[in-house]
Amino acid sequence: MNQQLVPKIAVIIATYKREESLIKVLHALRIQTRRPDIVVIADASEESTLEKVIHTVSMNIRLLRSQTPSLTVQKNLALQYLEDNWDGDFVQVLDDDTFPEENYLEI
């Protein structure tokens, strides 16, 4: 029997006090034809607000925090987290105002 391996994809979303936009991005990822693993990394947002956002979209999301207000630092921290804790194949980095089409993650 020839089984085709399906690559695992992770999506990193760095955000900064843009909860409404983040909800839209997460909803767009929820309807993907391929479900990614999602890492949201944030700085200077209230923790309770981000937890509400993640709860609202009903998805399995890993929330990370950055003490440094830098998009580059956030993305690097998320990449390091995935390198240490994830066994997937591809990583896609999205901004918190990027709304992908439903087949965006097809390979």
Q: Are 26 and 11 in contact (CB under 8 A)?
A: no
Q: In the structure encoding, which two tokens stand for residue 18, read together?
A: 């843009």
Residue 1: predicted pLDDT: 43
Three-class SS of the chain? CCCCCCCCEEEEEEECCCHHHHHHHHHHHHCCCCCCEEEEEECCCCHHHHHHHHHHHCCCEEEEECCCCCHHHHHHHHHHHHHHHCCCCEEEEEECCCCCCCCCCCC
The Cα 106–Cα 56 span in angstroms is 25
Residue 2: predicted pLDDT: 42
Residue 11: predicted pLDDT: 96
Low-confidence ranges of the chain (pLDDT < 70): 1-4, 44-48, 107
